[in-house]
């Protein structure tokens, strides 16, 4: 057994100084990133500066914005492509989908579901990333017609020309 060259008080002082290399949870071992964020959210600013976890890069904010916008675009494509097939399948099974769905906007509901699932899977739970994801969501929801008018060739791969012409006619910024 090796003999330590420092006293217990010296080791305790080093631990209390905050210059350790990792955080631990009593009885569980090393703290995860979420554990440390939870600890730091309840602590003083001085302790937050001593965090050993690496911060996320600025690219995560761009990812949040893109995820918000792409959730709306993907939901509209899923709604346009598969809703009629799903309704026909439900009708064949004897389910009255008109009474179930009522006046629910399915594209918007799908977009919210996709956005929330992406937020949970990618860990975009901070205030900034949720706000940017919401901004991308609202931007795509309001200005997708302008996006179709800007790049109709891209949308022509997925949608018929009648839908593209309707969206280009309703574009507000590029007209």
pLDDT in tens, 21-35: 566 666 666 667 677
Distance of CA 95 to the CA centre of its chain: 33
- Quick one: 109 and 155 in the same domain? yes
- Quick one: 14 and 81 in the same domain? no
Residue 104 lies in a domain: yes
- Quick one: 100 and 40 in the same domain? no
- Quick one: 23 and 82 in the same domain? no
Site of tokens 């709306």 = 72
Residue 145 lies in a domain: yes
Does 145 score more than 60 pLDDT? yes
Residue 53 lies in a domain: no
Residue partners of 108: CB distance under 8 A and separation at least 6: 75, 141
| DSSP secondary structure string for all residues of 69-133 | HHHHHHHHHHHHHHHHHHHHHHHHTT--HHHHHTT--HHHHHHHHHHHHHHHHHT--SHHHHHHH
Domain count, the chain: 2
Residue 2 lies in a domain: no
Average pLDDT of 2-12? 72
- Quick one: 75 and 43 in the same domain? no
- Quick one: 40 and 63 in the same domain? no
- Quick one: 113 and 133 in the same domain? yes
Phi, psi of 30 (to 5 degrees): -65, 140
Summarised one tens digit per residue, pLDDT across range 87-99 is: 888 889 988 887 7
Summarised one tens digit per residue, pLDDT across range 40-90 is: 777 666 565 555 555 667 889 999 999 999 999 999 999 988 988 888 888
Average pLDDT of 161-173? 88
CB atoms within 10 A of CB 114: 20
- Quick one: 96 and 12 in the same domain? no
CA distance 87 to 101: 10
- The first and second tokens of residue 146, run together, are 């302008």
- Quick one: 28 and 107 in the same domain? no
Does 170 score more than 70 pLDDT? yes
Site of tokens 């949870």 = 25
Residue 44 lies in a domain: yes
Phi-psi region of 18 (alpha: psi -120 to 50; beta: other; left: phi over 0): left
Q: What percent of the chain has pLDDT over 90?
A: 33
Residue 54 lies in a domain: no
Q: In which domain, by residue range, is 15 found? A: 8-48
Residue 81 lies in a domain: yes
pTM: predicted TM-score of the whole model, two decimal places = 0.66
- Quick one: 80 and 154 in the same domain? yes
Identify the burial level of 129 via C-beta atoms within 10 angstroms of its C-beta, where 0-12 means exposed, 13-18 middle and 19 or more buried.
buried
- Quick one: 37 and 100 in the same domain? no
Give me the helix-helix angle, 106-122 and 127-150, nearest 10°: 130
pLDDT at residue 123 in the model: 84
- Quick one: 109 and 160 in the same domain? yes
């Amino acid at each position: 057994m090796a003999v330590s060259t420092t006293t217990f008080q010296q080791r305790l002082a080093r631990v209390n100084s905050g210059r350790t290399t990792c955080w631990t949870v009593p009885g569980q071992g090393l703290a995860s990133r979420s554990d440390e964020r939870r600890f730091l959210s309840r602590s003083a600013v001085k302790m937050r500066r001593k965090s050993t976890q690496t911060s996320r890069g600025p690219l995560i904010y761009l990812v949040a914005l893109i995820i918000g916008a792409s959730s709306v675009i993907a939901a509209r494509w899923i709604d346009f492509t598969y809703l009629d097939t799903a309704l026909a399948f439900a009708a064949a099974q004897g389910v009255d989908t008109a009474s179930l769905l009522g006046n629910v906007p399915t594209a918007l509901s799908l977009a919210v579901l996709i956005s929330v699932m992406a937020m949970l899977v990618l860990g975009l739970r901070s205030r900034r990333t949720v706000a940017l994801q919401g901004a991308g969501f609202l931007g795509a929801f309001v200005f997708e017609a302008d996006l179709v008018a800007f790049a109709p060739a891209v949308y022509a791969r997925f949608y018929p020309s009648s839908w593209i012409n309707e969206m280009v006619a309703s574009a507000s910024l590029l007209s």
